Each structure stands twice: as structure tokens, then as C-alpha cells.
Structure 1
Amino acid sequence: MSIDDVRDELAGDNARNKWIGVWIGVLAVLLAVCGVGGGNATKDANRANIDASNTWAFFQAKNIRRTSYILAADELELTLLAQPGLAPEAAQAIKAKISAWRATAERYRSEPDTREGLTELSAQAKELQSERDVALRKDPYFDFAGALIQIGIVLASVAIIAGTSTLLLASFAAGGLGTLLMLNGFWLFVAVPFLG
């Protein structure tokens, strides 16, 4: 084997190694994007969960107030029944209060203008829970995608040292599958059974 043959063989390996280096760079960029996607999915899930919890707490507080008005009106109605000899002015004042409390209790059921009625709050909380659930479905795809992309980087690095194409093909497979899982994490094209 002449020196020119050795130089040509090393030049071929050098070009191959450069392309593998480019592949590793692409995988590193994909890994960074995957990390951002996974972090955003986690943040979105936490935010939506907290917002849903706060909305349900507001719903419960509003429902307790509504129930208090109903109970107070019921108690005043019983007072009217128990004391039929009340002065007409007192009975009229009690009836006005009963009417006002019943109207307030009914208004609490639905307040479309402020979106703070029980009906609106329930719908908001359910929508936030749905957002949380979508974000939670996305997160595992990013986790597995990140792992596969990292494995692809390691396999490509070892392929440079070992000089074997088998490891490079395994790197392409791991990186490609990781990329598909990452894209699915962003858009949820398909539901993979064991991932969520």
C-alpha cells in the first residue's frame, strides 16, 4: 500500500466523518427544539391546571354564596309563616328581602356579561382542564423523543470512532424516530398507545 493509497483512504474517512459531524449537529439542534417543546408542554400543563383549580375554587365560592342567599330567603319565608301577625311594613320589607335574595341567587347561576356565573365558570374550568390534558398528552412524546435523539447522537459519535456504518444506520433510525416523536409532540398527529 502506497502513501497515496493511505492518504486517499484517510481523505475518504475525513469526508465521511465531516458528514457524520453535520448529522450530529442536526441532531443537537433537534434535541434543543425538543427540550423547548417539552418544557413548554410542562409549563402549559401546570398553568392550565392552576388556572382550572382557581376557577373551580371561584365556582365553589360563588356556589356557596348562592346557597347562602337561598337558605337566608328560605329562613325569612319561614319567619313570615311562623309570625302571621307581623306589621304589614315588616312583612313587606321581609318579602322585598326574600325577592332580592332569590334574584341574586338566580343571577349567580348565569352571568354572561361578566362570565362569572356558575354556568360560565364551569365551562371555563372544563376548557382549562382540556388544555391541561392536551399538554399532558404532549409531554411524553418530547421525553421519548429527547432520549432517542440523544441515543442517535451517541451512536453517530461512536460510528466516527469505530468507523462502522451499522452504528451510523442505528443513529439515523434513533434520530429519525426521535424527530417523528418530537413532531407528534407538537401536533399530536397520532396517539401512540404506550406514550400517554
Structure 2
Amino acid sequence: MELNPVDAAEPETRPSRLNAAVAIAVALLSTVMGVCKVKDDNIVQAMQQAQADKIDHWAFYQARNLREEVAKAALAQLRLQAAAANASQKADYDTALAQYQALADEQHQKKAELQKQAEADQQTYDTLNYRDDQFDLADASIAIAIALLAVASLTQFWWLFGVAMVPSAFGTLMGMAGLAGWKIHPQLLASLLS
């Protein structure tokens, strides 16, 4: 059997327009994803700091609460003792009562300040988490888009390239929202991925 030289020739290899479009899309999406990842990592660090601050402030709150309760218990005990004390000891009891009352009042005030700080830390965390969710949605969408683009390149289906542009656009939008601080947050998707 003889080989026909025309049949044996390699088919003309012309670069596919789809492959070029996929390559450009992947390069652009990877760039968006990289920039978003840097910002997301910084936000996660800030979230960790806010969480640590909140825990510290609540721990200090509990310490202040204990100090306040100890001072109140000492006040109650001193009041009972002062009631049974003779007139010569009354001045000493009044001084001790004033000191413990001042201590209890001070701890109560500092406890209230710590509660406000801990609640502010929680608010900071929630605000940062909102933006972290945006970057998470961007990462997931762009990863799905890149996978679809790879399959489109292998199968040479333009329609699949079009399908890949949907998560590409959504991921880019969420990344830009996270970078710019826009109030775009699909709660259902965010809670689904949480």
C-alpha cells in the first residue's frame, strides 16, 4: 500500500482564534485574581487583628467585671461592719467605704469603655468580612471561568467561551467591588460559600 503524499502531509496549522481569545482572557483574569488576592490577604490580616482585639477587650471587660464585683462585695461587708462599729471607728469605715465605692465606680466605667471597644472591634470585623466575601466570590468565579476557558480551548466551542464570560464578568465585578468598596454583596452566594 502506497502512501499518498497529499494524505501524509500535515494539516495546515493555523493558530485558532478561539485559543487566542482564551489565552487573552486567562491572562486578564489571572491578573485580576492576583491583584484581588493581595488585597484579600491584607483584609484577612486586618480581620485577624480585629478578632484578636475583640477577644482582648472582652477579656479585659471580664477582668474589670470581677474587680467591680469584688469591690461591691467589700462595700457590702464594710457597710455591715460599719453599722455595728462604735463611733470612734466610724471615720475609718467611711474612708474605706469611699475608697471601695470609687474603685467600683471606676471599674464600672472602664468596663463600659471596654464593652464599646469590643463592639467596635466586632463592627470592624464585620465590615472587613463583607469585603472578604467579595474577594472570595471573585476568586471562586474566576477559577470557574478559567476552568471553562480551558475546556473551551480543548473542545474549540465558541459557545463555551461565551458561557465562561459569565463567571468572568461576575468575578471581575466582585473583585472591583472589593477593591473599590462598592456595596455589592450577594448574600445567598456569600453564605453558601461561608
Instruction: Report the TM range for the smaller structure's normalisation.
Output: 0.7 to 0.9
2: CA distance, partners of 1:141 / 1:22: 24
TM-score by length of 2: 0.79
In structure 2, what residue type is equivalent to 1:105? A
* Aligned ranges 1:55-70 → 2 under 5 Å: 55-70=57-72
In structure 1, what residue type is equivalent to 2:51? N
Q: How much identity, in percent, do the aligned residues show?
A: 24
1: CA distance, partners of 2:40 / 2:164: 22
Identify which of 125, 137, 145 aligns with 2:130.
137
Give ranges in structure 2 of 5+ residues lacking alignment.
Answer: 1-10
TM-score by length of 1: 0.78
Change (3 A) 1:131 1:61: same
In the alignment, which residue of structure 1 is the partner of 2:95?
Answer: 96
Give ranges in structure 1 of 5+ residues lacking alignment.
Answer: 1-5, 111-116
1:16-54 superposed Cα distances (whole Å, 9 cap, x missing partner): 533431221111112223333443343333321221111
1:102-159 superposed Cα distances (whole Å, 9 cap, x missing partner): 112212233xxxxxx1221111100001111223333333223212101211222333
Identify which of 37, 52, 55 aligns with 2:54.
52
Give the SS at the match of 2:187. coil
1:76 paired to 2:74: no
| Superposed structure 1 runs of 4+ greater than 4 Å apart | none
2: CA distance, partners of 1:93 / 1:81: 12
Deviation at 1:98, TM superposition (A): 0.8
Tell whether the 8 Å contact from 2:174 to 2:184 is kept in structure 1 after alignment: no
Identify which of 146, 158, 163 aligns with 2:151.
158
